[in-house]
Amino acid sequence: MFVAWAHLPRVQFELVKTELPFSFTLGRLLMKVRPAPVASLIKRLLRIRRVEITTTEGRFWVDPASDPGISLASAGIYDPATLGARIASVYPADYLLIGGVNWFIVGEGTAKDVADKLGLAEPPVSGIVVAVSGYFGRAPSNIWEWLGARVKASSNG
């Protein structure tokens, strides 16, 4: 077991096709409808489905009524929250988010094993996983407590 540090930069892609389907206009409007179950019902009634977006990094199937979908389609930006969701599902109790795009993760195997489990080997996701053998610096106490407990447990492992 080891502690790893993962970082996902906010990645921007160049859209191959700049003309977006009409469903993205409706998607932007649906994002403003509250309560959310009403927006979901309208989305189903209008039969708004995922749309394929082609970028220089590949093709994405995105929901035109979601923040990540609108962000990728309009600005070509891949949302780091996607990696956060993967980390939370693969390592549900063994991660700590720091600064919005950095995570400490406790995992089994090598840094490559962790990267493979998170899907960092294939586009469009990019990121860095580094094995942590020691640490020093200045940070909020919750980070030191988390690291102290995990590194001690990892070395006793």
Same domain, 74 and 86: no
Number of residues that make up the chain:
157
pLDDT of residue 42: 93
User: Quick check: 94 pLDDT over 70?
Assistant: yes
Q: Which of 78, 96, 114 is the endpoint of a domain?
A: 78
pLDDT range class, residue 147, cuts 50, 70, 90: confident
Domain that holds residue 109: 2-10+80-156
The four Cα atoms 155, 1, 87, 7 give a dihedral, to 10 degrees, of 70
Sheet containing 102-107: which strands, arranged edge to edge?
Answer: 95-98, 102-107, 2-7, 128-132
Q: Which of 78, 101, 124 is the endpoint of a domain?
A: 78
Same domain, 149 and 89: yes
- Mean pLDDT across the stretch 34-49? 90
pLDDT of residue 35: 92
- Mean pLDDT across the stretch 11-23? 59
pLDDT range class, residue 41, cuts 50, 70, 90: very high
Q: Which of 56-70, 113-127, 141-155 has the lowest mean pLDDT?
A: 113-127
Same domain, 99 and 147: yes
Residues with Cβ < 8 Å from 108, sequence gap 6 or more?
A: 1
pLDDT of residue 136: 82
Same domain, 94 and 58: no
**Considering its fold, how many domains does the chain have in total?**
2
Same domain, 32 and 89: no
Asked, for residue 17, whether it belongs to a domain, the answer is no
Contact yes or no for 39/31 (Cβ under 8 A):
yes
Same domain, 150 and 107: yes
pLDDT of residue 16: 54
Claim: this prediction has a pTM higher than 0.85 = no
Same domain, 38 and 104: no
pLDDT of residue 1: 42
Same domain, 74 and 87: no
CA-nearest of 124, 120, 125, 82 to 4 is 120
CATH number, residue 142: 3.30.70
Asked, for residue 149, whether it belongs to a domain, the answer is yes
Same domain, 48 and 64: yes
CA-nearest of 42, 87, 85 to 65 is 42
Q: How far is CA 88 from the centre of its chain?
A: 10
Asked, for residue 15, whether it belongs to a domain, the answer is no
Dihedral pair phi/psi, residue 66, rounded to 5°: -135, 155
pLDDT of residue 98: 80
Same domain, 30 and 87: no
